[in-house]
């Protein structure tokens, strides 16, 4: 049985996720480059839905860190992340992002492939909570599965994604299983809706970071 909301058990997540997302490694490189550009000094960083800790893996060694909090609602995922990192300034929290209660504590909050699991109203609440948790000029960076603008766009984009997964060695059955999660296990919204929601949540700067087919990255500054 899977021990988190992603399609994969924490023990096989790192291998399976690379067969699923084209450019997966690039997400983290993009975030590191952005944080480096925006924040010069040591940063306080919260990674929500951290999974096995890929974001931390890219951040440690590349960015001066005062504090890095790995947060995930899955004990299995946090367990994996913990095995990876022995840094004194790394903290681990098994908690749900919907219960986020920090105030003015972080320079950076990342949510890599996490918020698409939230329902529409939960998204609104969580974005406001992230805004509250950031310091002034702090940034939220989110990568997500996004909704194409039209039904035809959705058909084409999902077909491209189907083809990618099969080329990576997944069986047809497994690939179809993943594609069928759209709108059932995760709830993508369009790029336009993302940008509007971020603005409505109080962020003074809202930008796109990256986009390809059915994944996109956004960043927003308090």
- The site for ligand SAM (CB under 6 A) is made up of 4-6, 17, 48-51, 54, 72-74, 77, 96-98, 112-114, 117
Task: Output the six-digit token pair for 108.
Answer: 């950076």
HSE (side-chain half, CA atoms, 13 Å) at 10? 20
Measured between alpha carbons, how far is 188 from 172 in angstroms, rounded to an integer?
A: 23
CB of 8 to ligand SAM, least distance (A): 8
Q: Which is nearer to ligand SAM, 5 or 190 (CB)?
A: 5
Q: Which is nearer to ligand SAM, 80 or 192 (CB)?
A: 80
CB of 203 to ligand SAM, least distance (A): 20
Distances (CA, A) of 157 to 3, 183, 213: 28, 14, 6
CB of 187 to ligand SAM, least distance (A): 12
- 134 bridge partner residues: 106
Distances (CA, A) of 94 to 28, 108, 170, 177: 22, 19, 31, 28
94 φ, ψ to 5°? -85, 95
CB of 183 to ligand SAM, least distance (A): 16
CB of 150 to ligand SAM, least distance (A): 26
Helix axis angle for 151-167 and 172-179, nearest 10°, is: 150
Q: Which is nearer to ligand SAM, 13 or 203 (CB)?
A: 13
- Using Cβ positions, the residue closest to ligand SAM within the complex turns out to be 51
Q: Which is nearer to ligand SAM, 63 or 77 (CB)?
A: 77
Q: Which is nearer to ligand SAM, 157 or 215 (CB)?
A: 215
């Amino acid at each position: 049985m899977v021990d988190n909301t992603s399609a994969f058990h924490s023990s096989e997540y790192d291998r399976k996720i690379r067969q699923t997302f084209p450019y997966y490694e690039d997400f983290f490189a993009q975030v590191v480059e952005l944080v480096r550009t925006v924040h010069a000094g040591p940063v306080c960083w919260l990674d929500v839905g951290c999974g096995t800790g890929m974001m931390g893996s890219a951040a440690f060694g590349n960015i001066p860190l005062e504090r890095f909090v790995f947060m995930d609602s899955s004990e299995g995922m946090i367990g994996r992340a913990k095995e990876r990192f022995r840094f004194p300034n790394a903290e681990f929290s098994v908690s749900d992002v919907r219960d986020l209660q920090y105030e003015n504590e972080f320079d950076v909050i990342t949510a890599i492939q996490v918020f698409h699991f939230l329902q529409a109203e939960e998204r609104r609440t969580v974005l406001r909570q992230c805004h509250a948790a950031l310091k002034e000029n702090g940034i939220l960076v989110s990568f997500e599965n996004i909704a194409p603008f039209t039904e035809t766009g959705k058909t084409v984009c999902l077909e491209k994604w189907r083809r990618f997964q099969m080329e990576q060695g997944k069986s047809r059955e497994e690939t179809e299983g993943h594609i069928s999660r759209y709108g059932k296990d995760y709830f993508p919204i369009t790029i336009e809706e993302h940008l509007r929601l971020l603005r409505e949540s109080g962020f003074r700067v809202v930008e796109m970071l990256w986009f390809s087919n059915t994944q996109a990255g956004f960043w927003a500054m308090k």
